[in-house]
């Protein structure tokens, strides 16, 4: 078992001492938030799945996603039942395609192709996989929508309103009067329409793409069928930021800085006031319930080491009382570890 060798004190001692604006129009609907943050039970506790968009490579030896706007790459673990349909969309030669997935992160395994990555993203559901939308990351996340062909139609859910577009017709809108949201299905109703979305693989006959939902729309007595996707907003982005705390190690001040980045990677840096070399950990973060975020570090000074801290947020601070390192739990002193929100994120 690898242990971090720290100056000043063994790891347990250090752990004890270390304890001393968004756009409303793009905000997710309650349905999108509920369906893109389902609770997941992992080997180390419960977290909430989230929507991840990015450039995807699918092949035998490389199956990865690079989140939009990031250089970070995660191994992409797809359910066995989804692999044939996903591989059918992917081009040969490891060319990147655009993808949207609901899932969660865990440390990469120690062996196999995935071992070369910082983490593995476990896919619970494919939302969209498209070989044609190569510039998908240059577009803002789409809202929940359903669409079909022959005749061409699309309907978008925005707040309490749906907007229907059909070829040769002006855009029409109706107010949503009821919603029935459950696992695997959601139904929207209005005065003269019903939109039903059912979780199932769906292929658009006019594009080289795979979607995660099938849809049926009845609009003023006329029925349409097609595919659908959930809104692709990551509703857990409110955790992104830099957090910092200070503790005394004798005459030396230890500064702990935690950066939670938009691509769900995380970096913890330790610096000392007496000029000792700084230390760095790298890993990832994900929401773990209301007001809680789990930060998992997978590398310490470039070597594999798994440590987890479950933080609670309040009054602009993150606090925790324990750290789990390679399966062993350490208390972080009587007062725990407190980190204050900083702005902006430090590089």
8 A C-beta contact, residue 306 and residue 291? no
8 A C-beta contact, residue 240 and residue 231? no
**Main-chain dihedrals φ then ψ at residue 116, nearest 5 degrees:** -80, -5
pLDDT at 208: 81
CA distance 19 to 189: 52
Pair of tokens at residue 305: 């080491």
pLDDT at 53: 97
Domain 29-138 has CATH 2.40.30.10: no
- Nearest Cα residue to 307 out of 17, 38, 15, 48: 15
CA distance 300 to 74: 18
Q: Across the 347 residues of the chain, what is the mean pLDDT of every consecutive 10-residue run?
A: 31 33 44 62 82 92 93 93 87 87 94 90 94 89 92 94 95 96 90 96 82 96 96 94 89 92 96 90 94 93 90 93 90 87 67
The CATH fold assigned to 11-21+236-342 is Lipocalin (2.40.128)
CA distance 115 to 56: 18
DSSP E strand stretches across 14-110: 39-42, 45-48, 50-58, 63-67, 74-77, 97-107
8 A C-beta contact, residue 206 and residue 147? no
CA atoms within 13 Å, Cβ hemisphere of 145 = 15
Q: Residues near 49 by Cβ (< 8 Å), separated by ≥ 6?
A: 36, 37, 38, 39, 40, 102, 103, 104, 124
Which residue ranges does the chain devote to CATH 2.40.128.640?
Answer: 11-21+236-342
DSSP code per residue over 279-290: EEEEEEEEE-ST
Which residue ranges does the chain devote to CATH 2.40.50.540?
Answer: 29-138
């Amino acid at each position: 078992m690898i242990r971090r060798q720290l100056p000043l004190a063994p790891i347990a001692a250090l752990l004890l001492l270390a304890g001393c604006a968004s756009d409303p129009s793009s905000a997710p609907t309650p349905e999108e938030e509920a369906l893109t943050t389902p609770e997941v039970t992992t080997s180390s506790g419960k977290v909430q799945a989230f929507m991840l968009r990015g450039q995807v490579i699918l092949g035998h030896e490389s199956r990865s996603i690079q989140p939009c706007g990031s250089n970070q790459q995660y191994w992409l673990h797809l359910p066995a039942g989804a692999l044939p349909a996903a591989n059918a969309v992917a081009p040969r030669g490891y060319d990147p395609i655009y993808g949207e997935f609901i899932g969660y992160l865990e440390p990469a395994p120690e062996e196999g192709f995935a071992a070369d990555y910082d983490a593995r993203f476990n896919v619970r559901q494919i939302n969209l996989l498209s070989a044609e939308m190569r510039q998908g990351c240059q577009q803002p996340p789409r809202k929940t929508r359903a669409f079909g062909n022959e005749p061409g139609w699309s309907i978008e859910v925005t707040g309490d309103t749906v907007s229907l577009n059909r070829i040769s017709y002006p855009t029409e809108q109706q107010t949503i009067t009821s919603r029935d949201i459950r696992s695997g299905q959601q139904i929207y109703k209005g005065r003269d329409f019903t939109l039903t979305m059912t979780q199932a693989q769906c292929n658009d006959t006019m594009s080289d793409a795979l979607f995660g939902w099938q849809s049926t729309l009845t609009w003023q007595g006329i029925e349409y069928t097609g595919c659908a996707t959930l809104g692709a907003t990551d509703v857990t982005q409110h955790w992104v930021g830099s957090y910092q705390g200070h503790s005394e190690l004798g005459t030396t001040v230890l500064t702990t800085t935690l950066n939670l980045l938009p691509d769900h990677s995380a970096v913890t840096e330790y610096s000392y006031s007496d000029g000792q070399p700084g230390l760095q950990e790298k890993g990832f973060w994900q929401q773990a319930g209301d007001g809680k975020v789990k930060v998992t570090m997978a590398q310490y000074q470039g070597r594999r080491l798994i440590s987890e801290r479950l933080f609670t947020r309040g009054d602009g601070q993150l606090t925790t009382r324990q750290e789990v390192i390679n399966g062993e739990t350490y208390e972080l002193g009587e007062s725990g570890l407190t980190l204050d929100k900083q702005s902006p994120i430090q590089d």
